[in-house]
Chains A and B, each alone.
Chain A
Amino acid sequence: MSETILQANNLSKSYGDFLALDQFSCEIKEGVTGLLGPNGAGKTTFIRSLLGIHGIDSGNVRFYDWNLPKQIGAARDQIGYQPEVPTTLKRISAMKYVTHMCRLAGFTRSAANQRAFDVLHYVGLGEARYRNMETFSQGMLQKVKLATALVHDPKLLVLDEPTAGCDPQAREQILRLIEDLGKVGKNILISTHLLPDIERTASNVVVMSKGKRVIQGDLQQILSQSGDTVEYTIRVTGDHFKFSKILSENGFKILNVDQNRISTTFANGTDNGSLKVFELAKQQNEHIQMISPYKQSLEEVFIDVITEEEHLE
């Protein structure tokens, strides 16, 4: 069971009349967590509040043993942040820039140089490290940002749209880096609109909408068990249309049927649905070839929960 490293409690933040965070609470566990939400959901406000860049109106955050925002000074050294926007300083090499950022986190000159050297190699910029950053491509700038976030060895990496603006190859490289960092035990919070990135790299998700938490938890559980019912795919040896009619007559809701499969729903958390299907198949002398829960994509879950949230309001 992974431990909670960060707990946000009832965070509120408004800009004039606009409530960006509305009593927002969430738990971030060890590992890689995806932070999802539509534009204006409050993701960046939450991240900036976490880092002390924006003050908050009320609430607090527990990050390891630090109580934020009161103890943000000490906690900053343990958070590495990669903002969404491309960042660069004119006529400064990547090496100088990353070393400088490392020294701001309290490293000595020699330690910062060594770390910057290592981490720029790690992100794949070893050969380009002495080039001025204004000559870098978008993908290279993303890697510099990742190196900057990593260089001071933080306990938590906060990555805001880490693959934004990258070509497919650079995106693949960055995702591999994130996966690799996850494997070596680095805790990562990724905020992105690219849901496949989250599906690929994250083990937990927090979904926000209108400054509130909509859903949070283990990604695999959310993908397979969202809602009151679970969608199943059934394949039989005989006629799928005929068997779907029998299922329908016995109270099953048929979502879709074609020559190869039937899609239906079972009540979530019980095996009664599948047992009933087997019974009906036996009565009809049909053989069940396959019966398996349909795995939703994160995008479908995301759209469902956001739509549901909007309907509630």
Chain B
Amino acid sequence: MSTENSMTEDNSNKVESTDYLEKFGYRQYQGERTGKWTRILNFMRFEVVSTWDKSTFGKVILIIVLLINALGVIFSAFGGTSNVPTEAKRNALNSFVATYIVVGLNPVVAGLQVAGGLSIGVGIFIIILFAIAGSGFFADDKQGKVIEIYLSRTSKSNYIISKIGGMIVYVNIFLALPLLLVGGLQVQSYGLNHLQLLDFYGGIILFSLVSSLILSLGILVLSSLVEKRQYASLGFFLIYFLASSITPTFYLNNPDNELLLLISPSILLVLTAYLCLGDFNLGLNRGLFSPEGVTPLVLNDGVGLEWYHIILVLLAYVVVLGGILTYKIQKLTTEEL
């Protein structure tokens, strides 16, 4: 019989038996303790596993994303690419990676379009998933009042590192893994040599890490600022979706200023992807905005938008969002603990 049950059933005995004290007496621990980084990794693992376990929606989204990807690969395999030049195939691969999490308008294209090239519209699903999963990382702790216990076990900086790290790992289950998997299948279907495309795989990993860091910081900042995770989810999705959809019109109104493209989070991540993949010769599909069609967008010609502008904006995101997050955790109020 359980202790709790016996407690309620034995009303005649007001004081519950504490036999368990004798049976399970307190024992001291004499073993070794792990170091700081092992603890941080354990914390990250707990965050990833518990977020995965809790999110049925996440599992459904992963299945949807993989199904859409599988359809894309099948379609691509039958697309007939044997006569397409290798460079065009590489452009198609880069384009696939760069547009993977695009939401809203994206005027940036690889230099050449290719028959059978993948252009999968799973970005909206993935962003919704990140918004839902990531919003709980701090908000659930606040709602469950466990931050105080965490901070009695670990420092604030380790707590923040663990949360960011956990979110990055979780994001990459849906970003890096499908990209590597589908990218590899795509390379196979194009008849290209995997070993000659190690820079492509390296670019995917680098892009996944950079973009997951930016996205994680964004959602974690919102999660730390609000009490309920639903608000953080909605806030993140709306900010990302609206900013990605509306801000390209700033460029439309001022087409000579390519730097305006960086205002859109979605376009920033597209440009980041091309940068990580080593593709500096891009095009701007002005057809989206004007009848001029695709015009060159070269990131290392010293004119207009340059590669270092992208890096600076990414760094600014990391510094500002990381700063807000750190400040917020350092200055948690008594009520928030």
Contact = CB atoms under 8 A, between A and B. Distances in A.
A311 interface: no
A22 interface: no
A73 B337 CA distance: 19
A103 B38 CA distance: 9
A51 interface: yes
A91 B54 contact: yes
Contacts of B29: 107, 111, 115, 152-153
Contacts of B26: 122, 150, 180-181, 184, 186
Contact of A176 (B7, B21, B25): B21
Given A87-B146, A126-B3, A172-B16, A184 B25 contact: yes
Interface in A139-162: 140, 145, 148, 150, 152-153
A31 interface: no
A145 B20 CA distance: 18
A218 to B, nearest CB: 25
B20 A106 contact: no
A196 interface: no
A173 B18 contact: yes
Contacts, number: 142
B150 interface: yes
Nearest to B5: A127
Interface stretch (A78-86, A224-232, A261-269): A78-86
Contact of B43 (A87, A104, A169, A186): A104
Interface in B290-329: none
Given A90-B54, A126-B3, A103 B24 contact: no
A276 interface: no
A161 to B, nearest CB: 13
A139 to B, nearest CB: 9
A81 B144 contact: no
Interface in B96-150: 140-141, 144-146, 148-150
B20 A121 contact: yes
B23 A87 contact: no
A73 B153 CA distance: 9
Given A79-B152, A81-B148, A180-B26, 15 more contacts: A73-B36, A83-B337, A85-B148, A89-B141, A92-B50, A101-B149, A104-B42, A121-B20, A124-B4, A126-B2, A140-B4, A153-B29, A169-B7, A177-B18, A186-B26
Interface of A: 44, 48, 51-53, 72-73, 76-77, 79, 81, 83, 85-92, 96, 100-101, 103-108, 111, 115, 118, 121-122, 124-128, 137, 140, 145, 148, 150, 152-153, 168-170, 172-173, 176-177, 180-181, 184, 186
Interface of B: 2-5, 7, 14-16, 18, 20-21, 23-29, 31-36, 38-39, 42-43, 46, 50, 53-54, 140-141, 144-146, 148-155, 334, 337
19 contacts: A48-B337, A76-B152, A81-B149, A92-B50, A101-B149, A101-B153, A107-B34, A118-B27, A121-B24, A122-B20, A122-B21, A122-B25, A124-B4, A125-B3, A127-B2, A127-B3, A176-B18, A176-B21, A177-B21
